[in-house]
Amino acid sequence: MSALLDVHSLSKAFAGIRAVDGVSFAIKPGSMTGLIGPNGSGKSTTIDCISGFQRPDGGRVVLAGRDITGARPHDIARAGLMRTFQNVRVYEQLPVLDNLMIAGQQFDEAGWVDELLRTRRYRAAVEVAETRARELVELVGLTRYSALEAGILSYGQKKLVALAAALMPKPKLVVLDEPVAGVNPSRIREVEDVLRQLNQAGETFLIVEHNVEFITNLCDNVIVLDQGRKLAEGPAAEVHQDARVLEAYLGLAPEMESERVPA
Amino acid sequence: MKLTAVIAAAALAGALPWLTSSNYIIGVALSACIFTVAAAALNLVYGYTGLLSFAQLGFWGIGGYATALTVMTFGGNFWLGLLCAALTNAVVALAIGYPALRTNRHAFVMTTLAFALLVSLVARDWVSLTRGPLGIPGLPPPTLFGYAFRTTPQFYLLAWAYALLALGFLYALCTSRIGRTLVAIKQNESLVRAQGISPMPYKLAAFAIAAAITGVAGGIYTFHLKIIDPLFLDFYYMQTFLIMVIIGGAGSFWGVVIAGVLMAALPEVLRFSEDWRMIIYGAVLLAAMLAMPGGVAGWLHAWRVARMRAAVR
């Protein structure tokens, strides 16, 4: 089966430091891929390069057969890749429902003239978007907050709003940047369930996360980055046994002691 | 309920020439109409999109001069002049907006300020076109199907009609998904881009639409004054528009419209004491800003958010 996302020897340097150094991997449609690694291993830069927020220095990114290397973020989003951000980003002063509806509006038929004249096409598009937004709000369990401004929600709830917004246009691939970092541990299970449910419905995810348990529970394929390079890839159970992964994470070699990073 | 109130207020404003015979009161109401439109246009750029633009003053001036020159120099009529004002401004706004909007928000403010000063310089120094400080006096009253807008009450109806048209358009724009997208751009531009929306066409459109609307307002006001000179580009106008937006609450359509009407009337209401007038005006502004840093609408909004928070607990 051909890959939904094909990343080929991606690289990006900042002032001579190779943040991402020839990383290649492929994501199958309908899969759940985890991207893990110690702090500074290049996870965020990798997904920034994939989603267009950083322009890669080299390599290729192909989404569903279309070359999106170095394309602008909004073009990549329109091509079917939606992402969330590590430091949660929502429209603080807009209601939860509007947060979702904005995320979907680029993908319907209504143009600017329809907007101003409130044509039938505009009303139909709004109705479709609102129905979908309500479904997603219910899915992430925020129905009772849907009319409230996103800014008054808790950090974890905002992450759920961001997740639901990313799902609005029914994207081909959803990239989640630390979906449960800073989320109340009792809530992490709920997020897991929601993601699993979506995945079973056919949605493809690439998840960057420090929470190894979360990744292990969810992902069928795990990619480990260290110092900008791909260290290992495979099913979660296998990757955990990999000596190089343990070394990168736990610093078993004496000279790496100072770089100890909790998993 | 809200619709009824709006229609009643608009009709009442339209009936003003029959309610009072005072040209002075009607003159103040005329300024209120025009300034409110300019403030609402600034609100689209500053309040909704988050771009503090001093270029509005330049567009106000270009609108005034374009209308006056069309009539006095190029032999067109007033309506053609207004069309020229709108089109010139839209084109100029696109031309300076595209590079200026690629910079960051602070640089944008400085660029628009420089633009406003530049327009004022051109008005003063391009003597062969604008007659410089002498200005262009004797602007004739506009006519429509043989009806001349000669007296202040007649001209007021023109300004009132334009205010309805422009505010109606801005309201449709601000309450559509375009308006909501502008707010989204103000709040988090990178999130907007991650959601497949390119911010530039939205920002550029808001800037150009505001420029065209401000230009037509300037054109109408010029013909009310019956003269245009470089004083039409005095910072007084920019300050007036900005005060209306800030007191009303940047980003609130009705807040700015109501503040526009009130703030146009306030300096006149204070005329009971000529010596203290501007001091009281300043004190009112200061008190309003101290008590309500987000404007009236911001204050109401904070109150609503507090209620939401209480409801969540």
A157 and A232 fall within a common domain: no
CB contact under 8 Å between A90 and B197, yes or no, is: no
Q: What is the pLDDT of residue A163?
A: 93
Residues 233-262 of A with CB under 8 A from B: none
pLDDT band at B36 (very low <50, low <70, confident <90, very high): very high
Indicate whether B132 belongs to any domain.
yes
Q: Using one digit for the tens of pLDDT, what is the confidence trace for B66-81?
A: 999 998 888 888 899 9
Indicate whether A139 belongs to any domain.
yes
Range of the domain at A31: 1-80+171-263
The angle subtended at Cα A159 by Cα A156 and Cα A163, nearest 5°, is: 145
As a whole number of Å, the CA-based R_g of chain A is 19
Q: Is the pLDDT of residue B31 over 60?
A: yes
Indicate whether A155 belongs to any domain.
yes
Using DSSP, state whether B103 is helix, strand or coil.
coil
Closest CB to A92: pick one of B187, B195, B312.
B187
Indicate whether A224 belongs to any domain.
yes
Burial category of B13 from C-beta neighbours within 10 Å (exposed 0-12, middle 13-18, buried 19 and up):
middle
Closest CB to B178: pick one of A89, A90, A115.
A115
**Among A44, A24, A27, A26, which residue's Cα sits nearest to residue A199?**
A27
Q: Nearest CA of chain B to the CA of A63: how many Å?
A: 15
Number of domains in chain A: 2
Residues sharing a CB contact under 8 Å with residue B67, sequence separation 6 or more, in sequence order: B78, B81, B82, B84, B85, B218, B219, B220, B222, B223
Q: What is the pLDDT of residue B40?
A: 95
Indicate whether A183 belongs to any domain.
yes
Distance between CA atoms of residues B267 and A75, nearest Å = 51
- Name every residue in B having a CB less than 8 A away from some CB of A: 169, 172-173, 176-178, 180-181, 183-184, 187-188, 190-198, 205, 305, 308-309, 311-312
Q: Using one digit for the tens of pLDDT, what is the confidence trace for B179-202?
A: 999 999 999 999 999 999 999 999
Q: Which residues in chain A have Cβ-Cβ distances shorter than 8 Å to B191?
A: 85, 89-91
A69 and A124 fall within a common domain: no
Closest CB to A152: pick one of B176, B184, B312.
B312
Indicate whether A85 belongs to any domain.
no
Q: Which residues in chain A have Cβ-Cβ distances shorter than 8 Å to B198?
A: 72, 74
As a whole number of Å, the CA-based R_g of chain B is 20
A184 and A151 fall within a common domain: no
Structure tokens, A102: 């904005």
Residue of B nearest to A149 (CA): B305
Alpha-carbon distance values, B196 to A6, A81, A111, B179, B268 (Å): 21, 9, 15, 17, 49
A65 and A142 fall within a common domain: no
Q: What's phi and psi for B207, nearest 5 deg?
A: -65, -45
Indicate whether B270 belongs to any domain.
yes
Query: B163 versus B141: which is more confidently predicted?
Result: B163
Number of domains in chain B: 1
Here the CATH number for the domain that contains residue A189 is: 3.40.50.300
A144 and A263 fall within a common domain: no
Mean pLDDT of A171-180: 92
Q: What is the pLDDT of residue B276?
A: 78
Distance between CA atoms of residues A156 and B155, nearest Å = 58
A62 and A190 fall within a common domain: yes
Range of the domain at B248: 2-275
Here the CATH number for the domain that contains residue B204 is: 1.10.3470
Indicate whether A8 belongs to any domain.
yes
CB contact under 8 Å between B197 and A112, yes or no, is: no
Distance between CA atoms of residues A133 and A97, nearest Å = 6
pLDDT band at A250 (very low <50, low <70, confident <90, very high): low
CB contact under 8 Å between A105 and B184, yes or no, is: no
Indicate whether A248 belongs to any domain.
yes
* Interface predicted TM-score (ipTM): 0.86
Mean pLDDT of A80-100: 92
Alpha-carbon distance values, B115 to A20, A66, A162, B48, B109 (Å): 43, 43, 39, 21, 10
Residue of B nearest to A107 (CA): B196
A69 and A190 fall within a common domain: yes
Distance between CA atoms of residues A119 and A133, nearest Å = 21
CB contact under 8 Å between A82 and B191, yes or no, is: no
Contact B204, B101 (CB under 8 A): yes
A236 and A223 fall within a common domain: yes
A126 and A22 fall within a common domain: no
